[in-house]
Chains A and B, each alone.
Chain A
Amino acid sequence: MTSIGKASPLRWTYLIFVWATILFVLVPLATTIWVAFFSNKILSFPPEGYTGTWFVQAWSLEAFRSGFFLSFQVAICASVLALCLGVPAALAIGRYQFRGREFINTVLMSPLMIPAIVAGSAIYLFYIELQIWSDVQFASTVYGLTLAHALIAIPWVLRLLVASLAGLDPAIEEASLSLGATRLTTFFRITLPLIRPGITAGVLFGFIASFGDLEKSLLLVGPGRITLPIAMLNYLEYRTDPTIMAVATIQVLIIAIALIVSDRYVRLGRTF
């Protein structure tokens, strides 16, 4: 605040614009949560009263309930799988200098860069080809969906782990090695405990990215087996009522909890 001068019309315009922009980002979320408690049956203003029945109603709708469980299951399996693949990869990238390091890093981060709808379509067509060759069904199965979601989670695990390895003094590992511990012992007794916050955050971010994904999953889900964001999209295309806002509120709450928990392990302000 030091740099733009004292109270002047220019400064006031600037401050108003800043807060208006912040509101512009936050107001839609706040409105969603507000409307979820309206007692109006259809969307209208002003509220006739407030009620919590839409949350019960949302839970009683099969599409949302099963969508929630599927999303949860897929997000957990995918982030665990991404962790198993991501921890060794992060060690290689964070601790070694080797030929092709940049290339491997770029490929592993590419799921973040390649447009989700294009990637989703490519994976879908690939699954179909695979099925024609091998007679094993991948498209519209939970396994196929989980594999694709692991792809979403890998860049997050990698990014947060490499960052946490960079903050770790290699001298500590060296000391362990020179005192006679094997590489494996050093990893499990020294490195792993020290990068645990990074691992926790990586899994949480992987979970969040997978749980909220829409575009990559669109083509990969099967009839009667859709994830929560897709169930929400399908519903919203035909009607807007407090029930769907209750569902959105629940999703927002789950992700907010996951983010606040991960904020304890890695300060969000420093990661971004």
Chain B
Amino acid sequence: MASLRDIKSKITSTKKTSQITKAMEMVSAAKWNRGVMNAKAFVPYMEKIQEVVGSIAMGSSDASHPMLVSRPVKKTGYLVITSDRGLAGAYNSNVLRQVYQTIQSRHKSNDEFSIIAIGRVGRDFFANRGMNVVLEIAGIADQPAFAEIQDIASSAVGMYSDGTFDELYVYYSHYISAISQEVTEKKLLPLTDIDVPTKLTSYEFEPNAEEILDVLLPQYAESLVYGALLDSKASEHAARMTAMRNATDNAKELINSYSLKYNRARQAAITQEITEIVGGAAALE
């Protein structure tokens, strides 16, 4: 049986851990709030750009742009969004497991795909397995501004245009609610599954449809990447918050069971002492 002092020190260390996890939970809660707000602020932009892209791409079928047309796939790109830090429960491993399984089932050799990793955890995962990571970005702020993402997004779009890969999928954790997130796969490029808006508007183009698509489509693709990133940031903080709350709860439970053990051990020690004294007194008589 563990000594009194051992149990005591276990209780103290568990208490300290629970203080840390509690603090981390509150930090994540604040970040999660901001993250959800950012994701909401982005919605009007996304809706509008989707509407315009849909109207133009569907309205003028003769306007064919390289980004709209599927070409034979020699190489597939995967854009994987993970976090920089761990301690977020199954947040990262869920995304990585799905990407890994998909790649294993779709491709036979390492030359058939390349990976763009956002986030340190994902980068390390793929680097350790010797997979082809063409672009890696770590250290993205918790509340990313569009300007920070633009470089990443435009280089991802650029790699599609210059033929580094012929299609691009994005994998991220879609935010549903504080306790539920879902790994999502989205085909980013070519832009084949554009939602056709319900109210089609026929536009005048100034100067012409092709030139507008040249400006519009990269901007659209970039904003899809940004949207996925905001979504996954909200999920990350929600996942971390839940994980930390569970950790705090578990610590409380542990402390309770240790306290019980401690009290029992204390009681046992007292009983033993009394027995010894009584025994000693009896021996003297």
Chains A and B bind each other: no
